Amino acid sequence: MELVIKIALIGIVVAVLGQILSRSGRDEYAMLTVLAGILAVVLMLLPELDELRSTLGSFDF
């Protein structure tokens, strides 16, 4: 549950920053902010996905 809350907070912050930057005419920085947010979330998910892969790998189907 903690991971979901962190991802939601990152999404809210990125959305607000993107809107502020976009309305001030800095569309390039808004896009970079969105990309940085996506990268941060992916980096947060990588250890969890690795743990899921190793858990599923231990089952015999």
Low-confidence ranges of the chain (pLDDT < 50): none
Please write the tens of the pLDDT for every residue from 42-57.
Answer: 999 999 999 999 988 8
> What was the pLDDT predicted at 30?
95
Model's pTM, two decimal places? Answer: 0.78
C-alpha closest to that of 34 among 14, 9, 12, 13: 14
Domain boundaries, the chain: 2-43
Cα gap 27→18, rounded to integer Å: 8
Cα gap 12→51, rounded to integer Å: 27
> What was the pLDDT predicted at 8?
96
21 near 27, Cβ under 8 Å? yes
Cα gap 52→59, rounded to integer Å: 11
> What was the pLDDT predicted at 58?
80
Residue with tokens 């992916």: 42
> What was the pLDDT predicted at 61?
63
